[in-house]
Amino acid sequence: MQQDQYGYFDDANKEFVITTPYTPLPWINYLGNDGFYALISNTAGGYSFYRDPKFRRLTRYRYNNVPMDSGGRYFYFNLDGDIWSASGRPVDCELDHYECRHGMGYSSFSVEKNQIASKLTSFVPLDTTGEVHRLQVTNNSDSSKELDLFSFIEWCLWNAEDDGTNFQRNLSTGEVEIESNTIFHKTEYRERRNHYAFYSVNRDIDGFDTDRNAFIGNYNGFGNPQVVKNGQSTNSHAHGWSPIASHHIKLDLAPGETASMVFVLGYVEVPEEQKWQSQGVINKKPSWDFQSKFDTDEKFEAELAKLNQYWDNLLGKITVNTPNNSMNRAMNIWNQYQNMVTFNLSRSASFYESGIGRGMGFRDSNQDTIGFTHMVPNAVKERIIDLAATQQSDGSAYHQYQPLTKKGNAAIGGNFNDDPMWLVLSTANYIKETGDVAFLDTIVPFEDTPDVQSTQFDHLTASFYHVVNNLGPHGLPLIGRADWNDCLNLNCFSTEPNESYQTTQRGESDVAESLMIAGQFVLYGNEYANLCDLTGRTEDAAKARVHINQMIATIDQHGWDGNWFIRAYDSRGLPLGSHTCDEGKIFIESQGFCLMAGIGMQDGRAEKALNAVNQHLLAEHGIVVQQPAYSDYNKYYGEITSYPPGYKENAGIFCHNNPWIVVSEAMLGRGDQAFDYFSRFTPLFRPQDMAKHRTEPYVYSQMIAGKDAAIPGEAKNSWLTGAAAWSFYAGTQYILGIAPDYQGLSINPCIPKDWDEFSVKRQFRDATYHIQVNNPNKVSKGVMKIEIDGQGIEGNTIPYNDFNGEHQVVVTMG
């Protein structure tokens, strides 16, 4: 195991082991995957929510706080006045031992001080609306020890936005009940809610607190609560103010003795007619039933074993073995794990996204499916339907929707003109993986015509023709408020500091055009035409291809700049991303999408464009958005020019779009270049950069500071990024070349020349393929033959309807 100053990978257990509570930033894990979610840092900071991080937040968290990572689920010890925490912080003290292990859907914390060892294990059980924590405390000394244990969580008053703003109301509404070993949070329950939360422990308690000021003290912090210092709870009962839940347990441990306790933080919904147990007393029966599922160590361990088996099964659907251990670790464990998280939460809830304003993004959520469909295809199908239901009959869509209501976010609206075509990507990818062509006939009404029995195919048609019907003066797609690059705002012209670049628009948006959407239209327009052919709609396919060919011709005429593709035309009809520009001469997005669409692949332009990317955009940690960076604010370009050079969209490295270049290089057959790029922006290849990156070394971040930045290589906004799905897509389907298609499983690798071989186990529809790829001639691309169970096949695609069960596949490159 290669150990850094902050930790190391334990691949056998699918864990990252953190060896200090003082990481550069909080390094977090996500617990839960079926409606109840919890974020937990390496010191047990974070929060949890049911379905919607805005409207069903259970616990408070303080963003951008001093000190960092304030608020979480804490367990404090007091031994003769010496105080510490079971998770390393928030108490700031010297520990004899600390270790956090972030695994697949669980985290554990091992701490030792004063010969008292503790192990805290936290997870969200399958099919459960709550998180459970087992705390095991062991006396490793040769004498008896009496110590006090205090649990702590702070309730959020359900609506996270209102909780952080409407103090004049909220400081009067907080309500709790205490019964036995359980503290109930019932704020607003008697008015308009039918849900409550509880925090329990499976043993008798010696006291409790439900009032924050009583527990912490008016002028203390999480690191030195007054009750913990005093060693005695106050049995405070919250009436308004800031309700919390804290249990006090006195432990008397003989030498070598271990005490084990299971704490449950749960969410309960009660039918309206069963809300009350008696006058003013909530119906607690559901909570008692809830707690009984986890009230012994045996039950706890059984549920944890179920979770581990669940993840083993999910991750076992694709496993790879290549000559590069970092590639194996990324594809087999962490990339797929991050794909689940991004699929579940889009960009809504992290330590950088508050969960209040973003909701679920239309473009984001459609793209996230491409890294996840092989894992839980039914969930992907439901998500696609949810997204399609927010679309308008003209093909436009709400840019975001709230997961609780599944309604479009009217505060953001639409007019992000790349949105519609992403629905084609997700639908086509789902059908390729599953063969569920009948999905296209599923009834999904448009948001503005709920009484019309529209089908999923109708949605794809609307998406396609939304582009056709919204072309600018050059015949290229209008960009609207923005395309994939939300910060390229060509119709905003903002000079007011309090305006949103994304939602502000001045005048008509009938001039500014996007080459990225043009390439996207060709790429996914061809998928739409293929789906038309697949379902016998040959006239629709032919009609669509007329528009696609016209767009290709338009790109050739107005989108090629001589050595690369132009990025856009602004509201004045002037080009961006052209050699004629002083700054922002070349952008990554239009190169990626035009090349993935195959434009220029046959006439040498693809090689020119990719060489230009390498010459102008390549940095140590990946490919930057554009060069040269913008040095001054330009109202005609918008937010992109508001960032300092090297950060975010102004010449930062956006990990999300780097895979587009990897795919393009693989399509061109340049395997060494594709793999080099992949290894630059994938953090699992760069454990030596943990301190420089600062964000978690086991997941992608949204961006890494580019070569123009004050601190190149510093990453920001980890976890919830499209880089996860796109990297897995590029790594498995283009570098390793194992790709689902409508007719079967395609095999066409593009690898580094020095790889002698690699293998992949791939579950696909009704078969499991054990694929051995041999590269005797040291090539990057090219398949000489494919044999299945010793029999050769024609071409590169294994027909899905010819095989089921287990099969051995041998591929020879050359």
d(CA 339, CA 544): 32
Which of the 8 DSSP states describes residue 151? Answer: E
d(CA 540, CA 417): 22
Instruction: Specify the residue for token string 């930057």.
Output: 624
> Which amino acid type is present at position 718?
S
Strand order in the sheet with 738-740: 738-740, 744-747, 797-799
Task: Specify whether the CB–CB gap between 626 and 587 falls below 8 A.
Answer: yes
Which of the 8 DSSP states describes residue 329? Answer: H
d(CA 391, CA 397): 4
Q: Residue 706: which residues within 8 A CB-CB, separation 6 or more?
A: 619, 624, 625, 629, 645, 646, 647, 651, 652, 653, 712
Task: Specify whether the CB–CB gap between 357 and 347 falls below 8 A.
Answer: no
Q: Where are the alpha helices (DSSP H) in 10-90?
A: none
For residue 398, the SS3 value is coil
> Is residue 386 annotated as a catalytic residue, yes or no?
no
User: Residue 560 corresponds to which tokens in the numbers above?
Assistant: 């090629």
Tell me the pairing of strands 618-619 and 622-623: antiparallel
d(CA 110, CA 135): 10
d(CA 473, CA 123): 55
d(CA 427, CA 196): 38
Instruction: Give how far Cα 720 sits from Cα of 406, 655, 803, Å.
Output: 20, 11, 37
Catalytic residue among 69, 486, 540, 708: 486
Q: Residue 685 — left, alpha, or beta (φ > 0 → left; ψ -120 to 50 → alpha)?
A: alpha
d(CA 526, CA 534): 12
User: Residue 398 corresponds to which tokens in the numbers above?
Assistant: 């709400």
d(CA 484, CA 418): 6
Q: Residue 667: which residues within 8 A CB-CB, separation 6 or more?
A: 595, 596, 598, 601, 606, 734, 750
Strands (E) located in 479-535: 513-514
Helices and strands (DSSP H and E) totals, the chain: 20, 42
Which of the 8 DSSP states describes residue 274? Answer: G
How many C-beta atoms surround the C-beta of residue 260 within 10 A? Answer: 15
d(CA 587, CA 566): 8
How far is C-alpha 474 from the geometric centre of its chain's CA atoms?
37
Residues with a known catalytic role: 486
